[in-house]
């Protein structure tokens, strides 16, 4: 465990520079231990792949105090069992305009891409970039594809994309350069809900192929309006 | 209730920001200049974190549809029913009165506080606007805002003298930073460049981050990219171009560029109030010194609040050749 100050109100704790599940398990185990300790000076904890940041109220404690309190915590790096979240996805067509490119780029059929993408269970390493955006691990490299040369100005919320060896879901409508292969009717970020995000750090994700009529039905239930 | 008649620039409701949602990717948001914003609130007798209006450069025109007490914080011309009134002072407005807030003479963000605060439905526990995620939206002409109910008596006529106001008029401001945490991604020369050169705020700057231009900062052989780590407002990232970016209140919660430093929390408003074309210089201090700055700033803010509440008097004194403001308690007699 490596401690480095991140300004005067936060501590960066790093377990090295790794993107693997075992390291990320330690991140989440320490995060839970810190939250559970319920320190009065604790503002919040933010995890990433192999590091976490502890934000503290520097009116109540100094850096040395934070280091000492965290150094004394006991935590076991047991496998973090998050929830299994099934994400229905309609692949291809207008919902996934780049699925043909991904197939061709890898010498596969569109059905192969769908099968390969929906087979694994992905791990949510952490959320960042946009509210509710999950950094997922575990994509099969056989469907890897480069980003668009010119990003789209508007990617609809729920779009499922591939960028290099990563896959992800746009939680909000935003510009974006990922290759879009499908779209989920589920709302990944809903500011009116508590918690506001469908996915949480440590969860596991399984993509489930659905057809367009299922998409429309679920979309209406989730967003309370017709997609147009 | 107040009605916005004219909104010439970005105008949002902000408060002290969201806590506890960063791990879900939700930025902190809130006041860009929390020093000015808190004083605006203290001027009208609110707690420092009450929701108020934040404007970028040019202020709105507002019609009051009910009596209220308000104050404007910023280096700006203010008119009530066409007659000039003082900024940094709380005033009564009656039903039908019209407040015009002009363009800031210096600084970039100004604040308008109302006694009782702006009433809003908190989203994720808070009223700060972050339009990108549907957490509120920028305000426009024709919008009506409700104010909280409070006793107004005694909240007008509070005045903050110029000596106690933050001064953002300098075109080259010095900002204290704590170096790190990815300092090993920079050469010694790169760090020296960062601390000795001045950097110009570019027009590609907003509530998310300020892009700076100046001499490129040299990365070490470790390069500009890191395995994505969490970051905070105030973090200075340096991408491969070598031009630093200071992350601000709406910054994303994680980032993949090496972080050369973090602006001391007490000095972040100085960055926020720097206009495109103005310059910043960075001075490295220790974590403890940065914390000391924050504690001192908090004491000054509390003393300012007591001064505005009539519980303290302020004096100008000379100490060690430096002009300082000293506060003393007002003694209550019999």
- The verdict on residue B141 lying in a domain is yes
Contact by Cβ (8 Å): B113, B101: no
Is 90 exceeded by the pLDDT of residue B179?
A: yes
Whether B265 and A8 lie within 8 Å, measured CB to CB? yes
- Give the CA-trace dihedral at B283, B253, B214, B279, to 10 degrees: -60
Instruction: Tell me which residue in A46, A128, A131 faces B133 most closely, judged by beta carbons.
Output: A131
Asked whether residue B167 is domain-assigned, the answer is: no
Check CB contact under 8 Å for B229 and A201. Answer: no
Examine the domain organization and report whether B147 and B24 are in the same domain. Answer: yes
Percent of chain B with pLDDT over 90: 90
Question: Residue B314: its pLDDT value, please?
Answer: 82
- With cut-offs at 50, 70 and 90, classify the pLDDT of residue A18: confident
Q: Both ends of chain A: CA-CA distance in Å? A: 50
CB contact under 8 A, A192 and B123: yes
Say whether A46 and B230 touch across the interface (CB within 8 A).
yes
B230·A189 Cβ contact <8 A? no
* Residue B164 contacts residue B73 (beta carbons within 8 Å): no
Which of B21, B252, B290 is opposite residue A8, by nearest beta carbon? B290
Angstrom distance (rounded) from CA B87 to CA B101: 9
The pair of three-digit structure tokens given for residue B133, joined into one six-digit string: 């995620």
Task: Give the minimum alpha-carbon distance from A194 to chain B in angstroms, rounded to a whole number.
Answer: 7
pLDDT tens digit string along B14-40? 999 999 999 999 999 999 999 999 999
Interval A108-135 mean pLDDT: 96
Minimum distance, in Å, between the CA of residue A187 and any CA atom of chain B: 12
Give the pLDDT score at B332: 66
Same domain? B280 vs B231: yes
Average pLDDT, chain A: 94
Give the strand pairing for B78-80 and B98-101. Answer: antiparallel
Give CA separation, A92 vs A106, A215, B116, B239, in Å. Answer: 16, 12, 53, 35
* Three-class secondary structure of residue B307 per DSSP: helix
Are B13 and B51 found together in one domain? Answer: yes
Q: Is residue B164 part of a domain?
A: no
What the block records as the tokens of B312 is 């303290």
Give dist(CA B52, CA B150) in Å, integer.
Answer: 15
Q: According to the model, what pLDDT value does residue A81 have?
A: 76
Residue A62: list chain B partners with CB under 8 A: 287-288, 291
Residues B11, B74 within the same domain: yes
Say yes or no: B76 and B182 in one domain. Answer: no
pLDDT on residue B328: 85
CB contact under 8 A, B294 and A7: no
Span A69-106, pLDDT tens digits: 999 998 887 777 789 999 999 999 999 999 999 999 99
Looking at B159, B182, B206, the residue that finishes a domain is B159
Mean pLDDT of B227-231: 95
Which 8-state DSSP code applies to residue A116?
Answer: H
User: What DSSP string describes B224-280?
Assistant: SEEEEEE--TTEEE--TT---EEE-TT--SEEEE-EEEEE-GGGHHHHHTPPTT-EE
Q: How many domains does the structure of chain B reveal?
A: 3
pLDDT for residue B119? 95
Rounded Cα distance between B192 and B223, Å, is 17
pLDDT for the residue B312 = 84
Domain boundaries, chain A: 2-71, 84-223
Gap from B84 CA to chain A (nearest CA, Å) = 40
> Do A46 and B254 lie within an 8 Å CB cutoff?
yes
Name the band, by pLDDT with cuts 50, 70 and 90, for residue A60: very high
Q: Report how far residue B136's alpha carbon sits from residue B15's, in angstroms, rounded to the nearest whole number.
A: 12
- Between CA B110 and CA B15 the distance in angstroms is 13
Statement to judge: residues B9 and B75 lie in one domain: yes
What pLDDT does residue B313 have? 84
Q: Do residue B186 and residue B310 come from a single domain?
A: no
Give me the pLDDT at residue B114, please: 98
On chain B, the residues whose CB falls within 8 A of the CB of A131 are 21, 24-27, 132-133
- Same CATH topology for A2-71 and A84-223? no
Give the pairing type, strands B245-247 and B235-237. Answer: antiparallel
Tokens 């805002």 map to which residue? B145
Say whether B265 and A195 touch across the interface (CB within 8 A): no
Percent of chain A with pLDDT over 70: 98
pLDDT tens, residue by residue, A136-177:
999 999 999 999 988 898 999 999 999 999 999 999 998 889
Distance from CA of B255 to the nearest CA of A (A): 8
Residue B21 CA to residue A200 CA, distance in Å, equals 11
Cα torsion at B147, B151, B152, B157 (round to 10°)?
Answer: -130
Residues B148 and B6 both lie in one domain: yes
In CATH, which of 3.40.50.150, 2.40.50.100, 2.40.100.10, 3.60.15.10 is domain A84-223?
2.40.100.10
| Nearest CB to A129; choose among B124, B134, B254 | B254
Closest CA to B281 of B300, B265, B261, B295: B261
| Full domain range(s) for residue B23 | 2-159
B232/A53 CB distance under 8 A: yes
What CATH number was assigned to the domain covering residues A2-71? 3.30.1360.40
- Is a pLDDT exceeding 70 seen at residue A228? no
Q: What is the CATH number of the domain that holds B251?
A: 2.40.100.10
Cβ within 8 Å, pair A196-B235: no
Lowest mean pLDDT among A56-65, A73-82, B175-184: A73-82
**Closest among B89, B98, B97 to B44, alpha carbons compared:** B89
Residue keyed to tokens 């308008």:
B112
**Residue of B17, B254, B260 to mutate, interface with A, max A Cβ within 10 Å:** B254
pTM over 0.90: yes
Interface test with A, best of B253, B260, B283 (most A CBs within 10 A): B253
Q: Are B80 and B93 found together in one domain?
A: yes
CA distance B249 to B251: 6
Q: In terms of domains, do B197 and B84 share one? A: no
B252 and B182, same structural domain?
Answer: yes
**For B180, left (φ over 0), alpha (ψ -120 to 50), or beta?**
left
pLDDT in tens, B249-271: 999 999 999 999 999 999 999 99
**Most B-contacting residue of A1, A3, A4, A6 (CB-CB within 10 A), to test interface:** A6
In a domain, B334, yes or no: no
Is B259 part of any domain? yes
pLDDT for A23 equals 94
Residue B334: is its pLDDT beyond 70?
no
Chain B touched by A224 (CB under 8 Å) = no
Same domain assignment for residues B278 and B305 = no
Considering only CB atoms, B25 lies closest to which of A6, A53, A131, namely A131
Higher pLDDT, A25 or A79: A25
């Amino acid at each position: 465990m490596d401690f480095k100050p991140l300004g005067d109100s936060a501590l960066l704790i790093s377990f090295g520079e790794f993107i693997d599940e075992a390291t990320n398990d330690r991140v989440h185990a320490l995060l839970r231990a810190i939250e559970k300790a319920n320190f009065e000076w604790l503002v919040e904890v933010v995890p990433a792949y192999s590091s976490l940041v502890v934000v503290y109220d520097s009116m109540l404690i100094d850096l040395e105090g934070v280091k000492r309190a965290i150094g004394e915590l006991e935590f076991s790096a047991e496998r973090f069992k998050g929830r299994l979240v099934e994400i229905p996805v309609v692949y291809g067509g207008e919902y996934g305009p780049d699925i043909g490119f991904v197939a061709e780029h890898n010498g596969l059929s569109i059905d192969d891409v769908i099968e390969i993408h929906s087979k694994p269970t992905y791990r949510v390493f952490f959320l960042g970039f946009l509210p509710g955006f999950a950094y997922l691990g575990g994509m099969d490299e056989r469907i890897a594809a480069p980003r668009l040369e010119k990003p789209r100005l508007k990617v609809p919320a729920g779009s499922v994309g591939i960028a290099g060896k990563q896959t992800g879901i746009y939680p909000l409508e935003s510009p974006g350069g990922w290759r879009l292969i499908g779209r989920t009717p589920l709302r990944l970020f809903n500011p009116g809900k508590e918690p506001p995000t469908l996915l949480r750090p440590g969860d596991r994700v399984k993509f489930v192929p659905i057809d367009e009529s299922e998409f429309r039905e679920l979309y209406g239930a989730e967003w309370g309006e017709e997609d147009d | 209730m107040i009605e916005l008649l004219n909104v010439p620039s970005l105008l949002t409701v902000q408060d002290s920001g969201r806590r506890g949602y960063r791990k879900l990717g939700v930025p902190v948001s809130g006041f860009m200049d929390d020093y000015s914003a808190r004083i605006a609130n203290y001027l009208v007798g609110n707690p420092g974190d009450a929701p108020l209006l934040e404007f970028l450069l040019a202020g709105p025109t507002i019609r009051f549809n009910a009596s209220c007490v308000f104050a404007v914080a910023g280096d700006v011309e203010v008119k009530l029913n066409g007659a000039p009134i003082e900024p940094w002072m709380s005033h009564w407005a009656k039903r039908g009165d019209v407040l015009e807030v002009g363009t800031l003479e210096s600084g970039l963000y100004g604040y308008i506080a109302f006694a009782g605060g702006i009433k809003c439905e908190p989203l994720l526990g808070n009223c700060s606007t972050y339009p990108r995620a549907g957490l509120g939206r920028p305000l426009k002409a024709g919008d009506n805002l409700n104010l909280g109910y409070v006793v107004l008596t005694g909240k007008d006529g509070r005045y903050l003298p110029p000596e106690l106001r933050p001064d953002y008029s300098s075109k080259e401001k010095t900002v204290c930073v704590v170096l790190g945490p990815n300092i090993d991604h920079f050469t010694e020369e790169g760090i020296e460049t960062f601390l000795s050169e001045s950097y110009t705020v570019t027009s590609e700057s907003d509530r998310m981050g300020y892009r700076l231009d100046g001499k490129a900062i040299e990365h070490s052989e470790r390069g500009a990219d890191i395995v994505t780590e969490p970051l905070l407002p105030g973090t200075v990232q340096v991408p491969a171009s070598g031009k630093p970016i200071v992350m601000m209140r709406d910054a994303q919660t994680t980032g993949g560029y090496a972080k050369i430093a973090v602006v001391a929390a007490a000095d972040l408003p100085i960055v926020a109030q720097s206009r495109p074309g103005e310059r910043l210089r960075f001075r490295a201090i220790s974590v403890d010194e940065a914390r000391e700055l924050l504690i001192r700033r908090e004491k000054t803010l509390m003393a300012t609040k007591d001064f505005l509440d009539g519980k303290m008097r302020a004096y100008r004194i000379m100490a060690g050749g430096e002009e300082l403001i000293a506060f003393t308690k007002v003694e209550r007699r019999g």
